[in-house]
Chain A
Amino acid sequence: MTRRRSNHVGAKPAGPRLWSSIEELSGDPAFQAWVDAEYPAAAEFTPTARRQFLKLMGASFALAGLAGCEKSPFVAALPYVDQPESETIGVPRIYATAVTFDGYAQPVIATTWSGRPTKLDGNPDHPVTMGRSDVFMQAAVLGLYDPDRAQAPTRRGEPATWQDVVAAIALLRGSWSKDQGEGLHLLIGPQSSPTLLRQLDALRKQFPKAQIHLHAPAGGAARRDLMAAVYGQPLDLHYVLDDCDVVVSFDDDLLGPGANQVRNARGWAASRRRSSRQPGIRLYAAESVPAATGAMAGARLMADASRMAVLAEAFAAKLGISGAASGDLTPAEQGWIEDAAKASNAAKSRALVTSGSYGDVGTAIWVARINDALKSAVLKFSQPVTGPSDAASLGDLVADMRAGKVQTLVILDCNPAYTAPAGLGFTDALKQVRSTLHLGLQRDETGELCEWQLPLTHALESWSDARAVDGTASIIQPTIAPFYDVRSVHQIMAMLLGEIDPAADAAVRQTWRASFGGDFDARWQQALYDGFVEGALPEVSATPSGNAKSEKPAGKGLDIVFRPDPTIWDGQFSNVGWLQELPKPLTTLTWGNVVTVSPALAKRLTIANGDNLEVMIGDRSVVGPAWIMPGQAENTVSLSLGYGRKRAGRVGDGLGYDAYGVRPADQPWIAKGSLRKTGTNETLAVTQLHHRMEGFDLVREVTAAHPSLAKQETPPSLYPPWPSAKNAWGMVIDLDSCIGCNACVAACTAENNVPVVGKDQVIVGREMHWIRIARYYEGEADAPRSFFQPVPCMHCEQAPCEMGCPVHATEHNSEGVNQMVYNRCIGTRTCSSYCPYKVRRFNFLDYRAPPQSPVHAADNPDVTVRSRGVMEKCTYCTQRIESAHAAADKENRGLREGDVVTACQAACPTRAITFGDINDPDSEVSRLRRDGRHYALLEELGTRPRTTYLARWRDGGGGEG
């Protein structure tokens, strides 16, 4: 993939006068008329927005996929009027920028075609991610094209213009300036943007009495509050897993979804691969709810959420920390603690003990003391990256609103009407506020209730900045001109600060002019080119303040724990189809959330999967379908946030249940509650129905004692091998590194135009993902070991599928890729029937998005959009192979290692996927194929797969030998 990165010169990104051939149809008046009929909203647009919109529509047609191959039509072709120097049609341009998640920057390399971003990859030079990504980053591009985004300002639901907005703000400013902003309150989600924080300070300078409140329904803010309680000051924690030997986790899903996932997973995998004779790092996890961390742990202990404090204290006692008393423990707990303690004592400062962001203070305190005692050198602290640090809480705001102290409320980038704990009664209180402004991508539940809804630009179309989890700042540059009538948050802040029509990048430049000082332009260009500005936040030292004391969660009954959803998080991604259809790591559930209960509890209450359960906390209750989660602590019930939305959009509305409805304001993460069956049940859209390995050696394991597998005998073949080309592609997947995060699936979806089929089709069993993360359990249902196994096409050298096709729609090329030719496929599905791995996917119906949907703008023009009735499957990202070939051929050279990187490989946060040329003995993939842990799936069938696996380490401890 060509690394030709570019950046915008001056404030003018893809300007309105740019035309590209993607707009073929959009120039046609008939088409425009049709659009007006189909899409009345489009008529509302400003000329610019409208043209950009038509451009998208045009794209959707230009890419409408497999037309019949009969008489080739004469279509219109539109050249530029004034072609920009940098634009070459049909050649993607690549920008370094960033998207934000939970307030943090996710540095990305954005691939754009004719001004349409279609694919995001991690920025390989970035110190934190080093090019890795997670599902949220991969799916961000679809959020940009969300058809349900707010497209122009509205006042009480009526369309308004920005002039109106400016006028309204002027009035408000008048009233604020009277009494120093008394009664002006801002409610914002966590922010790391230096520019925004600067603007907030400026605002507070203008109006000293203005108040800022922070609301973060999930994510890093929770941990920061814990740390504030433990260390006496809010802190961000940084795990240096690269130098770590032992991790002991108390309900901390450090490998799970979240802003830190990429960094932790990367470090974890790096350490894990330190030695070829044994796993380089060991993980001891005590978990209430099964998560990625527990699945990867060598020794996993099941314990209820409310018991973590006890365990942590006992662990502390084991390490001989003063004041720690070891309570009465079960044998299992005893054993686990002993092993963990032994290991951490051995590892000393290279050991790390962690407590969950969503745990209780008690656990956090003991964990802090233990780390302190261990003098852990792999735990670092810094000031919080996201702020504002001195913000008041949502609770205070609601109180003030009730007291009528709030005249103006500006809600920025959060959705309290949906995410506020029902107990607070935010929506009622909101009625007390005279004027309310909502700044957000969508006119969501909150936008509905506010007087003004001011639509924001998506990160990919804005000038902004943000900091990554380690504090490294990225300057966010637009990859596309805003195609709706929207403004960036900085522009609106500037309006609040009194500007009339602020330029898109003015505020950002101002911020960085200050810090870059002298040679601003050069450093600015460099920053845009690199995608980040060197320099993490300085380390600070912290010691737990002894007096902090632990307290147990109040009340009796089951532990009800709340978790953000692994794919749609706190609900902000509800309308992103890719994320909705992404199977949740351990349940493989799509398009909904469940109430997970332990097998024991299920037995006790005779619960079956899908039975509707009523969860009651205090006087509130919510009803959701049950999921019996093997390995869940007996008395812990887990609810996941983010579903049950009413104003998410066409994709996200009315799915699942709303856990915020029972969430207590004072105990946001662990509460006591009860459970009962409602008697009804529903069908869950899961992508994997069976979870036991049934004694097959699908996932293999090695131990430090026997670090390599018994060599398999490749069954002989009757036929002579076909001659291979210079390159022979192969893929090796390291099962020891795969944490089941689904980043590869999301990346594949984005790269290969994999369609979203919807809940009903998933229920029938027709999901289209080209790579699936198979998830297996082994052992007892109530204390199983979990395995992840990514399964893309195996590209068998002796492929059974190819033999079945009557029309040559699938066969091999000399580089060993099992080709699937959509335009030749007549849909007999024989290939899929014969495929032992069942990796082929079929377009049973027309799964393409409706032609007028802007979602088509996210399509990769280098990959065919498949029509109804054709088979499809993993192609090893052939479009990347072929463009690499083209590039090499033009330079008249062979391909080099790293010329071809598949989407899944690029995305994988742990580098579990390696792709390359197996003819080249020095290539990474060849090296791994010689590894002792190397094996092929179902090799006994003689299919000779090109995609093979590295066995997983089974590290001792927990009595598992």
Chain B
Amino acid sequence: MTDQSDILPVNQSMGGVSDQLTGIPLHFPAERRWLIAMLFASLLLLMFMVSVVELFTRGVGIWGINIPVNWAFAIHNYVWWLGIGHAGTLISALLLLTQSEWRNSLNRFAETMTLFAVICAGIYPVLHLGRPWYLYWMFPYPATMNVWPQFRSPLEWDIWAVLTYLTVSFAFWYTGLIPDLAAARDRATKRGWQIFFGITSLGWRGSAAHWLRWSQAYRLTAGLAVPLVVSVHSEVSLLFAAGQIPGWHSTIFPPYFVMGAAFSGFAVVSIIAISLRSWFGLKNLVTDDHLDLLGMVLIATGLMTAYGYVFEIFDALYSGDAHELQTLADRMTGAYAWTYWGAIVFNFIPLQALWWRIVRRTGWMLMLISISVVIGMWLERYMILVTSLYRDFLVSSWSHFTPTFWDWSTYFGTIGLFLVPFLLAIRFIPMISIFETEELLHEEKEEEHG
């Protein structure tokens, strides 16, 4: 890690930072660019809605799924989105616990991203149901049927895990937001803003006693959030590992999935960080040092994911199980080899550039690499899902999967589902933690004075 004392330029006043950040929602810069982005996002969202209407009226048959590949885009994008979400929690919680101050400039929008990514993820298992209107059967309630949910099913675990994750992430995000909302309230001059921030900040007044309880609650929640993240994606991996299908039935899956999740997540965080800082001129708060650190985390998690790949191969070879070997061969040479090699290329080749400091510190380079990682991870999920299903145990059931228009429209639609609320968030709430930045600046100043 670089010396943290100069993670932020010292030559800025706390008040200045506060004004700068609260100013973004209050006196929004870049109104037009935002509107354009919003328009684009809304179009995607519209496409999503159209796809969902079509889906509910005609059934999941509008997708390319079949027997044996009866899970495809829905589950695979579910995993992908959830993975992206995890980075937010990791950044804010894990780095908070390890007192890595550099998180302070990133955690707010990282958490925001988590929130909406998890929503995108969470909506998929609902969409992919044959009869979504009976979703409520997955919850334990005293039904007149006297039938309960089946708690041995990874899907049942999913419901609980994702909902818990969503709730806790939201609570954590909001708790961290309260003092900043208060700051925004105090900066606000227009009545509307004052009321909005006044209510949302719950009347926070920064009393020492409050700060004391707040930080205890905040840190402890962070402490819970970290194992939660790990558990959630491990559990998602069990969705596959619990089945006997070759290519799924492996103990490497939980860590392998968690690493992949962090990997893709940090990539998205970098993308957002870079765009936001250039968009709102936040170079003073999201510095090159931040990018540098992000780059390091990216390559670290990337290498761990790569280890997962290697181990998967080893697993198959070591087991010597004919079906596992068959699946391995199919992955590398079969009809969907492009997903396997695509994943490897997009995930790991450009990544190597991050060994150079200059690349890590150059926004657009890091941006490109991150994008490539996001694509790579998407291909990986595709590979894990489809290549395992399309050829399983009985040769006679081997088949193929081709995504239809609706598969794609639903998928790109969810990107709109993510962007719209995210854009609204950066429009209406401080996107960088004000008080934590101030605190950091203050500490740095102290160190200056020795």
Binding site for B on A (CB under 8 A): 69, 688-696, 698, 761, 764-766, 772, 774-776, 789, 791, 800, 803-808, 811, 824-830, 832-834, 836-838, 840-846, 868-871, 937-938, 941, 943
Q: Say yes or no: is B389 at the interface (Cβ < 8 Å to chain A).
A: yes
Q: Which residues of A contact B148 (CB under 8 A)?
A: 808
B396 touches A834 (CB 8 A): no
Of the candidates A691, A761, A827, A846, the one having the most CB atoms from chain B within 10 angstroms of its own CB is A827
- Can you report 29 A-B residue pairs in the complex whose CB atoms are below 8 A from each other? A689-B399, A690-B391, A690-B396, A693-B395, A696-B323, A696-B395, A698-B395, A764-B66, A765-B69, A766-B61, A774-B396, A804-B154, A804-B155, A805-B153, A807-B137, A807-B147, A807-B149, A826-B129, A828-B125, A830-B154, A832-B67, A832-B68, A833-B243, A834-B244, A836-B244, A836-B393, A837-B394, A838-B393, A868-B130
Known: A807-B137, A808-B147, A834-B245. A690 touches B71 (CB 8 A): no
Q: Which one of B125, B244, B399 lies within 8 Å of A800 (CB-CB)?
A: B244
Q: Which residues of A contact B134 (CB under 8 A)?
A: 807, 826
A868 touches B400 (CB 8 A): no
Q: Say yes or no: is B79 at the interface (Cβ < 8 Å to chain A).
A: no
Q: A824-B147, A833-B71 are in contact. List 4 more A-B contacts (CB 8 A).
A: A761-B61, A836-B245, A869-B129, A870-B131
Least CB distance from A947 to B in Å reads 13
B396 touches A776 (CB 8 A): yes
**CA–CA, A846 to B399, complex, Å?**
22
Q: Which residue of A lies closest to B62 (CB)?
A: A845
**CA–CA, A826 to B59, complex, Å?**
12
Q: Which residue of A lies closest to B63 (CB)?
A: A844
Q: Which one of A776, A832, A842, A845 lies within 8 Å of B395 (CB-CB)?
A: A776
Q: Which one of A775, A836, A938 lies within 8 Å of B396 (CB-CB)?
A: A775
- Of all A-B residue pairs in the complex, the 10 with the closest CB atoms, nearest first, are A827-B130, A869-B130, A774-B396, A844-B61, A765-B66, A845-B61, A838-B397, A834-B243, A806-B156, A869-B131
Least CB distance from A119 to B in Å reads 26
Q: Which residue of B lies closest to A830 (CB)?
A: B155
Q: Say yes or no: is B60 at the interface (Cβ < 8 Å to chain A).
A: yes
Least CB distance from B64 to A in Å reads 7
Q: Say yes or no: is B284 at the interface (Cβ < 8 Å to chain A).
A: no
Complex interface bits, B79-90 against A, C-beta within 8 A gives 1, otherwise 0? 000000000000
Q: Say yes or no: is B213 at the interface (Cβ < 8 Å to chain A).
A: no
Least CB distance from A765 to B in Å reads 3
Least CB distance from A609 to B in Å reads 14
**CA–CA, A837 to B389, complex, Å?**
12
B59 touches A869 (CB 8 A): yes
Q: Which residues of B contact A833 (CB under 8 A)?
A: 70-71, 243, 245, 389
B130 touches A938 (CB 8 A): no
B67 touches A765 (CB 8 A): yes
**CA–CA, A836 to B154, complex, Å?**
17
Main secondary structure of the interface of B (DSSP, over half): loop
Q: Which residues of B contact A838 (CB under 8 A)?
A: 67-68, 392-394, 397
Q: Which residues of A contact B243 (CB under 8 A)?
A: 800, 804, 830, 833-834
Known: A808-B150, A833-B70. A826 touches B397 (CB 8 A): no
Known: A807-B138, A808-B148. A830 touches B153 (CB 8 A): yes
Q: Which one of B67, B132, B153, B395 lies within 8 Å of A804 (CB-CB)?
A: B153
Of the candidates B66, B154, B397, the one having the most CB atoms from chain A within 10 angstroms of its own CB is B397
A827 touches B394 (CB 8 A): no
Known: A803-B152, A832-B70, A833-B245. A791 touches B130 (CB 8 A): no
Q: Which one of A69, A829, A836 lies within 8 Å of B130 (CB-CB)?
A: A829
Known: A845-B61, A869-B130. A834 touches B399 (CB 8 A): no
**CA–CA, A692 to B326, complex, Å?**
13
A834 touches B65 (CB 8 A): no
Least CB distance from A362 to B in Å reads 39
**CA–CA, A695 to B323, complex, Å?**
10
Q: Which residues of A contact B145 (CB under 8 A)?
A: 69, 824
Give the residues from 109 to 123 in chain B that come closer than 8 angstroms, CB to CB, to chain A: none
Q: Which residues of B contact A824 (CB under 8 A)?
A: 137, 145, 147
**CA–CA, A761 to B242, complex, Å?**
30
Of the candidates A698, A774, A826, the one having the most CB atoms from chain B within 10 angstroms of its own CB is A826
Q: Which residues of A contact B128 (CB under 8 A)?
A: 828-829
Q: Which residues of A contact B400 (CB under 8 A)?
A: 689, 765
B71 touches A837 (CB 8 A): no
Complex interface bits, B322-350 against A, C-beta within 8 A gives 1, otherwise 0? 11001000000000000000000000000
Complex interface bits, B139-153 against A, C-beta within 8 A gives 1, otherwise 0? 000000101111011
Q: Which residues of B contact A937 (CB under 8 A)?
A: 394
**CA–CA, A791 to B393, complex, Å?**
13
Q: Say yes or no: is B39 at the interface (Cβ < 8 Å to chain A).
A: no
Q: Which residues of A contact B153 (CB under 8 A)?
A: 803-806, 830
A844 touches B65 (CB 8 A): yes
Q: Which one of A689, A761, A825 lies within 8 Å of B398 (CB-CB)?
A: A689
Q: Which residues of A contact B137 (CB under 8 A)?
A: 807, 824, 826
Known: A826-B138, A827-B131, A844-B60. A803 touches B242 (CB 8 A): yes
**CA–CA, A69 to B400, complex, Å?**
36
Q: Which residues of B contact A827 (CB under 8 A)?
A: 60, 129-131
B138 touches A869 (CB 8 A): no
Q: Which residues of B contact A803 (CB under 8 A)?
A: 152-153, 242
Q: Which residues of B contact A695 (CB under 8 A)?
A: 322
Q: Which one of A692, A826, A834 lies within 8 Å of B131 (CB-CB)?
A: A826
**CA–CA, A838 to B138, complex, Å?**
24
**CA–CA, A11 to B145, complex, Å?**
50
**CA–CA, A829 to B125, complex, Å?**
11
Least CB distance from A777 to B in Å reads 10
**CA–CA, A452 to B134, complex, Å?**
55
Q: Which residues of A contact B156 (CB under 8 A)?
A: 806
Least CB distance from B246 to A in Å reads 9
Q: Which residues of A contact B68 (CB under 8 A)?
A: 765, 832, 838
**CA–CA, A766 to B398, complex, Å?**
12
A806 touches B149 (CB 8 A): yes
Least CB distance from B393 to A in Å reads 5
Give the residues from 43 to 71 in chain B that come closer than 8 angstroms, CB to CB, to chain A: 58-62, 64-71
Q: Which residues of B contact A694 (CB under 8 A)?
A: 326, 395
**CA–CA, A806 to B130, complex, Å?**
13
Q: Say yes or no: is B135 at the interface (Cβ < 8 Å to chain A).
A: yes
Q: Which one of B67, B125, B132, B245 lies within 8 Å of A842 (CB-CB)?
A: B67
Q: Say yes or no: is B159 at the interface (Cβ < 8 Å to chain A).
A: yes
**CA–CA, A803 to B245, complex, Å?**
14
**CA–CA, A800 to B323, complex, Å?**
17
B244 touches A941 (CB 8 A): yes
A806 touches B159 (CB 8 A): yes
Complex interface bits, B19-31 against A, C-beta within 8 A gives 1, otherwise 0? 0000000000000
Q: Which residues of B contact A840 (CB under 8 A)?
A: 67
Complex interface bits, B262-283 against A, C-beta within 8 A gives 1, otherwise 0? 0000000000000000000000
Q: Which residues of A contact B69 (CB under 8 A)?
A: 765
A688 touches B396 (CB 8 A): yes
**CA–CA, A692 to B242, complex, Å?**
28
Complex interface bits, B306-324 against A, C-beta within 8 A gives 1, otherwise 0? 0000000000000000110
**CA–CA, A832 to B392, complex, Å?**
12
A843 touches B130 (CB 8 A): yes
Least CB distance from B354 to A in Å reads 36
Known: A833-B245, A834-B242. A807 touches B150 (CB 8 A): yes
**CA–CA, A811 to B150, complex, Å?**
10
Of the candidates B152, B155, B156, B395, the one having the most CB atoms from chain A within 10 angstroms of its own CB is B395
Q: Which residues of A contact B150 (CB under 8 A)?
A: 805-808, 811
Least CB distance from A948 to B in Å reads 15
Q: Which one of A772, A775, A789, A829 lies within 8 Å of B71 (CB-CB)?
A: A829
Q: Which residue of B lies closest to A839 (CB)?
A: B397
Give the residues from 230 to 245 in chain B that come closer than 8 angstroms, CB to CB, to chain A: 242-245
Q: Which one of B149, B322, B396 lies within 8 Å of A791 (CB-CB)?
A: B396
**CA–CA, A829 to B61, complex, Å?**
12
A844 touches B66 (CB 8 A): yes
